[in-house]
Amino acid sequence: MQAYARFAELTPPQRSGITIGDGAAEEIAVELAVSPNTTAKHLHEAQELVTRLPGTVSALTAGEIDVMRAKAVREYTAELDDDQAAHVEKRVLAGGKQENLTRFKHVLRREVIRADPQGAEQRRLAVKAQRDVTRWHRADGTSSLTVHLQPHEAELAYQHINLLAGHATGAGRNLATARADVFMDLIGGKQVDRPSVSVNVVVPMTTLMGLNQEPGEISGIGPITAEYARELAQNATWRRVITDPAGQVLEVSRRRFASPELRRFVQVRD
Which residues does residue 217 pair with via DSSP β-bridges, in sequence order? 202, 223
Instruction: Please report, in angstroms and rounded to a whole number, the separation of the first and last CA atoms in the chain.
Output: 64
Residue 252: its H or E element: strand 249-252
DSSP 170: B
Task: Return the pLDDT at 256.
Answer: 84
Output the tens digit of pLDDT for each of the chain's 270 residues.
999 999 999 999 888 888 888 999 999 999 999 999 999 999 999 999 999 999 999 999 999 999 999 999 999 999 999 999 999 999 999 998 888 999 999 999 999 999 999 999 999 999 999 999 999 999 999 999 999 999 999 999 999 999 999 988 777 789 999 999 999 999 999 988 888 899 999 999 999 999 999 999 999 899 999 999 999 999 899 999 898 887 788 898 888 888 888 888 888 888
Per the CB < 8 A criterion, the answer to whether 5 and 50 are in contact is yes
Which residues does residue 242 pair with via DSSP β-bridges, in sequence order? 251
d(CA 124, CA 1) in angstroms, rounded, equals: 31
Per the CB < 8 A criterion, the answer to whether 149 and 124 are in contact is no
Task: Return the pLDDT at 117.
Answer: 97
d(CA 157, CA 74) in angstroms, rounded, equals: 31
**Going by DSSP bridges, is the β-strand pair 143-148/222-224 parallel, antiparallel, or unpaired?**
unpaired
Per the CB < 8 A criterion, the answer to whether 92 and 73 are in contact is yes
Nearest of 70, 103, 97, 73 to residue 87 by alpha carbon: 73
Task: Return the pLDDT at 7.
Answer: 94
Determine what percent of the chain falls in helix, strand and coil, rounding each to the nearest 5. Answer: 55, 10, 35
Task: Return the pLDDT at 266.
Answer: 82
Task: Return the pLDDT at 259.
Answer: 84
Task: Please state, in angstroms and as integers, the Cα–Cα distance from residue 249 to each residue in 167, 203, 242, 253, following that order.
Answer: 34, 13, 6, 11
Task: Return the pLDDT at 125.
Answer: 97
